Amino acid sequence: MRVSSGKALGLLWLPWGGIRKVLYRFGDFELDTDLVELTRAGELQQMEPKVFSLLVCLIANRDRVVGKDELISMVWDGRVVSDAALNTGVNALRRALGDSGSEQAIIRTVPRKGFRFVLDVMEGKPAVAESLPSSKPGGSQFGRPSIAVLPFKMITAEADQDYIADGMVEDITTLLATVPEIFVIARNSTSIYREQSFDIRKIAEELDVRYVLNGSVQKAGTRLRVTAQFVDALTGSQIWAGRFDNELEDIFKVQDEVSQGIVGALQSRLLVAESVYVGRQPPEKLDAWGNVVKARTRMFAYRPEDIDQAEPFARRALEIQPDYAQGHAILGQILAWRSYNGWTDDWLATGREAHKCARRALELGADNPTVLTDAAFAYIWLGLFLKAEPIAERAVELNPNSAFNCSVCGHVLAIVGRQDEGIELTRKAFLLSPRDPVEYMFHLYEGSALFFADDQRAAQRALEHSLRLKPDLMFPRMFLAAIFEKEGRTEDAQLQLKRIIDFGSGDAIKNIFRPRPEGTLWPSLTEPIRRVYDGDIPSPVSV
């Protein structure tokens, strides 16, 4: 393939050779096509791979208007892409550069012609590249995880049934696209693989993605079986596989249930997969997203040493990108947990820093459900239950297929007196993601919701299940101590508190008394503990 302009096209990840590596400077931006990085005032900017390609194309051909067909040919390698997809990419590029469709100070739309980059550009010295680098940006090196949902194979003796599999793929793609942490390849880019045998690595290379989801739909009479596989495209290894069996009474209902089940199951598995992926990279090469992944996966063990390891990654993410909402959110959660357990020289100062981080995260990412859940989680540990309630609800509203969002929201709803809704949401988490990597949290929050609903037997079963999965988890023991004290089993209650202290979280017992309980059911936990705890009982404190 040949570029029509005499200018070099920078270093795009497209199948041609002899491409120059260059450094472009415009405004306070620097674009390095060798490192595949865009920085602004020295800060690395997050950008999807195709959006980066659009930027390089427009800058390299800035002396003319670049037509839509030509952009599609260069960036998407001639694949079938709609005008809407191209316009979405251009709009995303404008947002990344601080431009807009009304101002068009950087990228100008020429009606019925195409687009032109109009800002003054300085070009650094070129270096001849003999071949393209082996690693590609979005697919294997930078930014958010990218996924391609390939056409599902329809297996049936009946004719004209492909619409069932097509509808399933469309629903899954649409739902995945609502998750801010995931970049999902548009369906019109994956549909060309319908009649091809799947070579996962080749397809992933062509689409520039890290992960691939494929599957099949089998119909026999009124029975429908959907199987799906989530694959690491870089290694070819299977990350997750699921099977869904349904009676085909209402095709739309079945599509909804299966799609929600697949998307719910993928989200936690994707975090684990990303942790493995970023673990292959040198720490100094990680971007803000990679550092957040490291912080999140370290934190989820909830031990003092894990929090010590997680915090530097969160702070590093903010050094790289100071206005990164997820960086502030995860740091707030880490500090709130540190403050709650007393794993700090000054629990109050640490708690106030956590509160500040959560507020900043909400300012920057008010419509990001992951940010909202992290902030709500921080508020819960800080005892700010009434503040956490609407934030957690909004997170579920934005991403109702996140098992973790549902579980956290169910926990806080039960605390503020909405027990039935809380129980329903905590149980929805199991439906969305059976055998989830953090299933122990789901059982804990189901147990807490049942506890506040005064179903002590069911609460005890859920809490003990949580401890079977993770014996060193502290909070199930707190609820169990309260349950045992209510039953007159004082020694058993004291034993649970002793185990919490042995775990290194003695301050966690004291800190359940610090929240102001007005408008919540929190006293139903603190009062039994007060009767059995022989340590100092602190007064409520506002963080």
Q: What is the pLDDT of residues 243-264, one digit of tens each?
A: 888 887 777 788 888 888 888 8
pTM above 0.85, yes or no: no
Q: What is the pLDDT of residues 379-403, one digit of tens each?
A: 999 999 999 999 999 999 999 989 9
- Pick the range with the lowest mean pLDDT from 144-148, 371-375, 489-493: 144-148
Q: What is the pLDDT of residues 458-475, one digit of tens each?
A: 999 999 999 999 998 899
- Pick the range with the lowest mean pLDDT from 23-37, 356-370, 437-451, 526-540: 23-37
Domains defined for the chain, CATH in brackets: 20-133 (1.10.10.10), 141-279 (3.40.50.10610), 301-532 (1.25.40.10)
Q: What is the pLDDT of residues 57-91, one digit of tens each?
A: 898 888 888 888 788 777 765 566 667 778 888 88
Task: Let me know: does 378 contact 358? Beta carbons within 8 Å.
Answer: yes
pLDDT band at 406 (very low <50, low <70, confident <90, very high): very high
Q: Which helix (H) or strand (E) holds 227?
A: strand 223-232
The pLDDT value recorded for residue 47 is: 73
pLDDT greater than 70 at residue 436: yes
Helix or strand or coil: residue 425? Answer: helix
Mean of the pLDDT values across residues 479-488? 97
Secondary structure of 2-14 as H, E, C letters: CCCCCCCCCCCCC
The pLDDT value recorded for residue 195 is: 66
CA distance from start to end of the chain? 61
Measured distance CA(24)–CA(500) in Å, rounded: 57
The pLDDT value recorded for residue 413 is: 98
Q: What is the pLDDT of residues 106-146, one digit of tens each?
A: 998 988 888 899 888 877 643 333 322 233 334 434 467 88
pLDDT greater than 50 at residue 12: no
- Pick the range with the lowest mean pLDDT from 236-240, 292-296, 486-490: 236-240
Q: Is the dihedral of CA 298, 438, 436, 260 positive or negative?
A: negative
